[in-house]
Structure 1
């Protein structure tokens, strides 16, 4: 994402916490000789006393928090640690051995949890911290794929495995609205990949289309494939692309354009799989051969973009304010496709039980395609049980909007796991970010929470993460970065980092009359929640 750049006192951080509460040896025998044999009883060797595992010393502020100065403004490590300590039930001196991969080694909660459903009814009531309740939790199994980044177990296949497309029956035809691919220019022979029949999607989907599961058929898209046309911030209803459980959709690697699927404002994507039959969006390499993708493969297509009409904070020239057009902005990664509007309940459809494999393309610095990009999608958009695997950029990036997400797995991302900015306001629960084991790129965070360079634009970014597990392997400053005047509430989390990586990095880029943005006291006139709020979070920082 583009680089964009707010402690009050501990008492003020405490007030944020209160606000949350309002909303848990050998035997020795002599050699025989003439005469009698004397047996000497040995003196027993005392059993060795086990050496207890070393208890790490208390973490220092400098180890716990990374300091970044922007515009001459800093939030010190002591101040950041004080913000966390102002919350309830946090453990800043945790150890990483409590996790086996992304799973806790015990069913006992690592620290006392709170009930997130008291914050908002969207949240499921829980009594544990982290995304998983213990070593036998199966909630992420089956609909995910397994990799070195995260092993979920269950019946899920390896992410490198060819999806279960099935065996083609004689005479099976491509469904209406798609076209059977041919073997080449002028050829009447149907094209196949990996033994599967290919049905091509139109590059412009201008009428509603359904992709049914047909054994032996995989669907292919080429270039910038769009669902509907942009109907604007206040236009009518567009078209719907419906994808049935168990379907595989893949990007065309036979041409050089960036392959991506974009859903314009007013139109919808209804990709609703099941636990045992997830929908898989992937690369041609993944479909063509069991050795077509490796554990380190990434960036083979551009991902999925959903554009909606909910509010966003950053406006294009001529929109927002006194302009007749509501605030809108062009989405990054493509040209001239806008998101934003005034409908907080807007719906861009539903994505459930979906895998997005080997996506992400950096067009230029700060202009990237992710695994899943949400541009001002509203609360009417249903997003749950989604895995983004081995994205060459962020796993999921959210620009504005009001969508809520549940059961989200980001595995092997090369940049940030969850990136939210431009006035996003929503809730996310049961979220895992597990970076690639070889380490993602430098400056890649498990989550990056941002706003913009004008840090008091409204709506102000404000999200709540509940029941999250972050496994940070990249040598970034920290696992959690929050900056840009954004607000944030963290509940029931587990954060683990490797050596030389802190747990948090809180940044303020502007000094206002109320204090440093991001960490100043709450100001309701500016939708300001106050300093970041941490409650029931277990931190295992610096490879401890």
Structure 2
């Protein structure tokens, strides 16, 4: 019995040693020799090849285009099929894109969503680009620092939240207001230096720690010089980093208006933008992502041509050479824009934020974040953000001002609204609507001539490198009507479910002469149907 136990023990010890040797668990265990056990590790099963993501189905014309607003008493229509065909006439457009390629306002990859065109071939104003949309991939920093961040759009970088108190600084209790302003004492811990309502000589607003500048009521720079009057020589100069806040202590509509012949020079920097905002924004938690309409915004008026003339003035022509044509600007009473000077300058806005503005005076008569009326090509508008306007982010009535790096976040109506014969260019522009819901019938861009189909100059602009993130339950992201002309290059358009991408309307002439989409006609200064090249569309929440 003892002998059998010893044999069993020897066998068990040998098997244990074999196991240890095979596993490498004992460095000095001798191999059991010819009777050893080899353990072979089986090869892993190959990973299954992932199935390719199916290509999205082709969009239908009824999904891509809306006919809302068409018809009228004359029964004039542009069918959805016709609208889709117009877009497909262009090159490198993708009408069946998907929203998963876009994260907020940024593309998710560095590769352009569709083959880009070269907008510099159109005009020297445009920079040559090799991508579509306003942003060159997910790491583009060109909109960072000078913008503020909100639920509508996150740009990252050093930009603060739009709800954050601007960097006014400390020391207001001992600060002095500069000459030409009115000391209103301490307001929410900061020294308030109020602007006079009538600025009749040049005024400079320096950056002073602890000081903000206050707007009360309709604050005007200069007096109107008419369509052909000489410059007044009056300039409101605002230094980088300055905060200007509308007065919430009284009920009048606070706004800043630059009259024809005078100028504003508001030039911030990437890290020290100039901020126009409401006084409520100067307190912690004084505003939220839902805040809007707390003051009237900025109006700049110039002596460049307008296609729509007030009664008893004009008419104008294709060259905009009328010396009498002028029109009253929206939102205020008795202030006019227009004239024959296409190169007119109303000054400069660069690295500027305009927060929580926009007031509806009456239906169709509103104050926007920024209003340009007849401002000429000498006016400089770049690196400007209009945030949470209760109406349009920017509306441009006539004129020739070119725009570069302009972002509209959270507007309750249209992002970019152009009409009355505007003939400027825009590049690197973003419209990102309110995520909590903008007013119905609000478009990322609305282009028209206010029902005046063939008044001259004809509205004609080119948008290049644009990104439109539509959230409102409007007919479409892009509405074009009224006999206006338009060219779209290197764009990205994204809409939610039940919202089309385009909406072309022509209803004021005849079914045989649908001005918005008719063939080019130089005798009418008519460019032809809307033009699309290198535009990526992700419509209907696809």
- TM surpasses 0.5: yes
* Runs of 5+ consecutive residues of structure 1 not aligned to the other structure: 1-40, 182-190
Q: CA deviation at 1:324?
A: 8.5
Distance in 1 of aligned mates of 2:412 and 2:490: 25
Which residue in the other structure is 1:120 paired with? 123
CA contact (8 A) 2:172 2:186 kept: no
Which residue in the other structure is 2:306 paired with? 312
CA contact (8 A) 2:322 2:340 kept: no
Which residue in the other structure is 1:73 paired with? 76
Deviation readout 1:105-132 (Å, 9 max, x if unpaired): 1111111111100100000110100000
Q: Count the aligned residue pairs.
A: 499
Q: CA deviation at 1:317?
A: 1.1
The aligned runs of 1:432-511 (5 Å cut-off) are: 432-511=430-509
My pick for the range that moved more, 161-170 or 487-496, is 161-170
Question: Helix, strand or coil for the counterpart of 2:463?
Answer: strand
The aligned runs of 1:232-247 (5 Å cut-off) are: 232-238=226-232, 239-247=234-242
CA contact (8 A) 2:323 2:340 kept: no
Distance in 1 of aligned mates of 2:373 and 2:493: 27
Distance in 2 of aligned mates of 1:539 and 1:227: 43
Equivalent residue for 2:200, pick from 206, 227, 236: 206
Is the alpha carbon distance of 1:215 and 1:481 closer, same or farther for their aligned partners in structure 2, counting shifts above 3 Å? same
Distance in 1 of aligned mates of 2:439 and 2:457: 31
My pick for the range that moved more, 315-324 or 121-130, is 315-324
Distance in 1 of aligned mates of 2:452 and 2:206: 46
CA contact (8 A) 1:356 1:387 kept: yes
Does 1:83 find its partner at 2:86? yes
Question: Helix, strand or coil for the counterpart of 2:165?
Answer: coil
CA contact (8 A) 1:247 1:280 kept: yes
CA contact (8 A) 1:515 1:521 kept: no
CA contact (8 A) 1:318 1:325 kept: no
Equivalent residue for 1:253, pick from 243, 248, 256: 248
Deviation readout 1:144-184 (Å, 9 max, x if unpaired): 00001000000000000000011116742100100110xxx
Distance in 2 of aligned mates of 1:272 and 1:366: 31
Does 1:97 find its partner at 2:100? yes
- Structure with the bigger RCO (C-alpha within 8 Å, sep 6+) is 1
> Could you state the TM-score of these two structures normalised by the residue count of structure 1?
0.89
Q: CA deviation at 1:492?
A: 0.2
Distance in 2 of aligned mates of 1:426 and 1:326: 22
Is the alpha carbon distance of 1:79 and 1:324 closer, same or farther for their aligned partners in structure 2, counting shifts above 3 Å? closer
Which residue in the other structure is 1:283 paired with? 278
Question: Helix, strand or coil for the counterpart of 1:516?
Answer: coil
Does 1:109 find its partner at 2:112? yes
Q: CA deviation at 1:326?
A: 1.5
Question: Helix, strand or coil for the counterpart of 1:81?
Answer: helix
Equivalent residue for 1:406, pick from 368, 384, 404: 404
Which residue in the other structure is 2:34 paired with? none
Which residue in the other structure is 2:344 paired with? 346
Which residue in the other structure is 1:177 paired with? 180
Deviation readout 1:375-423 (Å, 9 max, x if unpaired): 0100000000000000000000000000000000000000000000000
Distance in 2 of aligned mates of 1:272 and 1:45: 64
Which residue in the other structure is 2:61 paired with? 61
> Could you state the TM-score of these two structures normalised by the residue count of structure 2?
0.89
> Computing the radius of gyration over CA atoms, which structure comes out larger, 1 or 2?
2
Does 1:534 find its partner at 2:532? yes
Q: CA deviation at 1:53?
A: 3.7
Equivalent residue for 1:138, pick from 141, 144, 164: 141
Equivalent residue for 1:228, pick from 222, 225, 229: 222
The aligned runs of 1:264-283 (5 Å cut-off) are: 264-283=259-278
Distance in 2 of aligned mates of 1:364 and 1:513: 33
Distance in 2 of aligned mates of 1:482 and 1:439: 22
Q: CA deviation at 1:195?
A: 1.3
* Runs of 5+ consecutive residues of structure 2 not aligned to the other structure: 1-40
My pick for the range that moved more, 160-169 or 41-50, is 41-50
RMSD over aligned Cα, in angstroms? 2.2
Question: Helix, strand or coil for the counterpart of 1:397?
Answer: strand
Which residue in the other structure is 1:426 paired with? 424
Deviation readout 1:237-280 (Å, 9 max, x if unpaired): 12110000000000000101111000111010110000011000
CA contact (8 A) 1:397 1:419 kept: yes
Q: CA deviation at 1:515?
A: 2.4
Which residue in the other structure is 2:370 paired with? 372
The aligned runs of 1:24-43 (5 Å cut-off) are: none
